[in-house]
Amino acid sequence: MGERPRLSQGIVVDELGKTFGSGRRGSARVDAVAGISFHIEPGERCAFIGPNGAGKSTSIKMLTGILRPTSGTATVLGLVPWEQRLTLARRIGTLFGQRSQLWFQLTPRRTYALLASMYGVPGSDRDARLASLGELLDATHLYDRPVRTLSLGERMRCELVASLLHEPEILFLDEPTIGLDLVAKTRFRDLIVRINEEQGTTIFLTSHDVSDIERVANRVIIINHGRIVFDDSVQMLRQSLLKRKLIGVRFEEAVPTLRVSGAAVLTHDGAVAQLEVNTEESPIRSVLDALLEQYPVADISVEDPPLEEIVSHMYERRP
Amino acid sequence: MNAYGIAFLTGARRTLAARGDLSTQVGMMLLVILALSSVWHAATAAHGGHIGGYSFGELVWYITFAEACTVPVPARAIEDIGEEIGSGEVAVAMLRPASVVGIRMAIDGGAALARQWCCLLAGGAFAWILAGPPPSGLSAILAVGASFLSLLLSIALQHALGGIAFWLKDARSTWFLFQKLILIGGGVLIPLNLLPHAVAAFFIPLPFAAIAYVPGSFAAGHGSIALVLEQCCWLIVGMGAAFLVFARGERRLEVLGG
């Protein structure tokens, strides 16, 4: 196994906090982020999620150097973002779903020329990267159309090209799929994963769309009321929280009444039913044994509850 | 070419691509020159051909350059800058490895310079038709140089004032005040030295005069080294103020939410 990358080259956050407003002379004091800590190593795909007002965007803005924290420290690629913003900017890429980095009056190609000059990407490298990114994102044909004439999906692909033009080591994505249709979302998620796998780019993603987390991330940090309430893998989020399993069952013939010890019947319609089991109270195996003994089962499946439901449950928790 | 040079060219290309807007602006400027020329023609005729040391031809060339220094910079640029800051849009620009105000001024400068050249070419031809050649070839060349400095000063002041939004979250009211001060205190309608002495003495040292009165005076053949120095001093102050305001403002930016 190769040597693990140094932690300082990833994202290191220690008791980072941000308070808006002084609280003096009647001005509101808002603790947007209240002392969060986490480490993200290079190459990780981390989803940073939480309900509205949880402190996600504020955290991203501190990690990219736009906002100065009121407490704590952080380093990104070994740099203090708010002290070394311009140096850091050369090494990270950002994509804000609600804010465009393209100039609407220009074509993407003109914007890329300007961005490449800011990032110090030589003309030959720029053209080569535009060609490869255009192929990867199927965006080459969009380069010479004015941005204002692009659809949202097309524009987001062009935004991603702009974010990746300088080959960033970390890509910060803030609600990147907002407003996209299902096909565009799926495609966009696949692209992010591909960029991570092929180029080793670290992905730091915030989103309200649980599918973004499922498809893109291998780690989830949940923030609520400015504090971290969960930090583990997506799999662990499913397994360790809500000890609840859903059993889907199809019987060989219609069953008039359905009653299984240790399980609650959620739905029952003749030969098809869905049951819920709290595995802390009843082992799933005993429930399945009882079901198979009592009824003529034709097909059976055991599933975790949808991630969306788990996340909603997490959001309701106070830190 | 560095990022600021490319930003400057990008701004110029953007202006030249929007031919409809450009034509409208130039057309409006010619109408204003025609209207003011008619007024000055009547005024000079009533005073034996000269008024306050200016001939009709000198006044036409004055107006042409004063207009060509004020029309190219959008009056509401301060409001746009303030809106970008107040809405948090400026955060996107802060994620780039370049000076936010530097890139912004370069783009605006390129756009304004392209407009100014169109205004000067069309306005110069129109003034020539109305009043004959400029009073002095050398003065006309100096006037072109002063016009460029005027443009830079105007853009710098607008960014310095727009940057107030970092503190107040709003710079909407400032643009109106700025525009009126240039119109009256800058001498767009009338050379400042034709105003009552006390009023002229008050306005001439101010930066608004460096935007319109100085290039206009050179075009009319009434320029002086003191006016060039005044313009250069205000340009340094304006640029310094713009960079300082943004540097301080960016450090205290508060963008709540996404």
From the list A87, A106, A117, which residue is nearest B1 (CB)? A117
Compute CA distances B42 → A302, B32, B37, B167, whole Å: 95, 16, 9, 49
pLDDT for residue A6: 44
Q: What are phi and psi of B25, to 5 degrees?
A: -65, -45
Minimal CA separation from A86 to chain B, in Å: 4
> Is residue A2 in some structural domain?
no
Q: Two tokens at A250?
A: 């199809």
Six token digits for residue B171: 């710079």
Range of the domain at A250: 242-316
Contacts of A20 in chain B (CB under 8 A): 254, 256
In this prediction, residue A1 carries a pLDDT of: 36
Nearest-5° angle of CA A275, CA A276, CA A282? 115
Who has greater pLDDT, A235 or B243?
A: B243
Write the ipTM.
0.81
What DSSP string describes B162-197? HTTHHHHS--HHHHHHHHHHHHHHTTSSS-GGGS-H
Give the residue-averaged pLDDT of B94-117: 94
Q: Are residues A226 and A276 in the same domain?
A: no
Mutation target vs A (from B2, B16, B90, B96; most A CBs, 10 A cutoff): B96
Could you tell me if A126 and A18 lie in one domain?
Answer: yes
The predicted structure's pLDDT at residue B156: 96
Do A106 and A151 lie in one domain? The reply is yes
Q: To the nearest whole number, what is the mean pLDDT of chain B?
A: 91
Q: Which residues contact B63 (CB under 8 A, 6 or more apart)?
A: B32, B33, B36, B37, B40, B127, B216
Q: List CB contacts (< 8 A) between A30 and chain B.
A: 256
**Residue A189 shares a structural domain with residue A298:** no
* pLDDT tens profile B165-213: 888 877 777 888 888 889 889 999 899 999 999 999 999 999 999 999 9
pLDDT for res B179:
87
CB < 8 Å to B17, chain A: 105
Q: What is the DSSP string of B109-151?
A: HHHHHHHHHHHHHHHHHHHHHHH-S-S-HHHHHHHHHHHHHHH
CATH number of the domain that residue A253 is part of:
3.30.70
Q: Could you give the CA distance from residue A210 to residue A216 in angstroms, rounded to a whole number?
A: 10
Residue B24 clears pLDDT 90, i.e. is over it: yes
Q: How far is CA A112 from the centre of its chain?
A: 26
Q: Are residues A71 and A200 in the same domain?
A: yes
A219 and A71 in a common domain:
yes
Domain boundaries, chain B: 3-251
| Residues of B with Cβ-Cβ distance to A99 under 8 angstroms | 88-89, 91-92
> A167 in the Ramachandran plot: left (φ > 0), alpha (ψ -120 to 50) or beta?
left
- Nearest CA-CA distance, residue B253 and chain A, Å: 7
Q: Confirm whether A1 is domain-assigned.
A: no
Q: List, in order, residues 6 or more apart from A191 with CB less than 8 Å away.
A: A136, A137, A160
* Residue B57, H or E segment: helix B56-70
Q: Is residue A139 part of a domain?
A: yes
SS3 of residue A263 by DSSP: strand
Residues A195 and A290 in one domain: no
Question: What does the H/E/C string look like for B6-35?
Answer: HHHHHHHHHHHHCHHHHHHHHHHHHHHHHH
Final residue before a domain boundary, out of A238, A273, A302: A238
A152-191 residues touching B, CB cutoff 8 A: 174-175
Q: Which of B1, B10, B95 sits opposite A66 (nearest CB)?
A: B95
Looking at the structure, do residues A71 and A212 belong to the same domain, yes or no?
yes
Kind of pairing, strands A71-76 and A227-233? unpaired
Instruction: Tell whether A15 and A151 lie within a shared domain.
Output: yes
Q: What is the pLDDT of residue A230?
A: 87
pLDDT given at position B117: 96
What is the per-residue pLDDT for A7? 43
Which CATH number do you get for residue A225?
A: 3.40.50.300
Quick check: is A135 in a domain? yes
Our measurement of the distance from residue A94's CA atom to the centroid of its chain's CA atoms, rounded to an integer in Å, reads: 14
State how many domains chain A has: 2
Distance CA A174, CA A206 (A): 5
Give the one of A57, A94, A118 whose C-beta lies nearest to B98's C-beta: A118
Shared domain for A211 and A172, answered yes or no, is yes
- The single residue listed with the structure tokens 């009434």 is B222
The candidate with the shortest Cα–Cα distance to B84, out of B179, B26, B149, B165, is B165
The bridge status of strand A170-174 relative to strand A92-96 is parallel
Residue pair A119/A155 in contact (Cβ under 8 Å)? The answer is: no
Residue where one domain finishes, among candidates A238, A269, A296: A238
pLDDT at B137 over 50: yes
Q: Which of A238, A267, A286 is the last residue of a domain?
A: A238
Residues 84-123 of A with CB under 8 A from B: 85-87, 89-90, 92, 94, 96, 98-101, 103, 105-106, 110, 113-115, 117-120
Please tell me which residue, A1 or B155, carries the higher pLDDT value. B155
Are both A206 and A266 inside the same structural domain?
A: no
Q: Indicate whether A199 and A104 sit together in one domain.
A: yes
Low-confidence spans in chain A with pLDDT less than 50: 1-7
- The answer to whether residue A196 is domain-embedded is yes
| Residue (of A170, A211, A166, A169) closest to A307 by Cα position | A211
| Closest residue to A89, CB basis, from B10, B88, B96 | B96
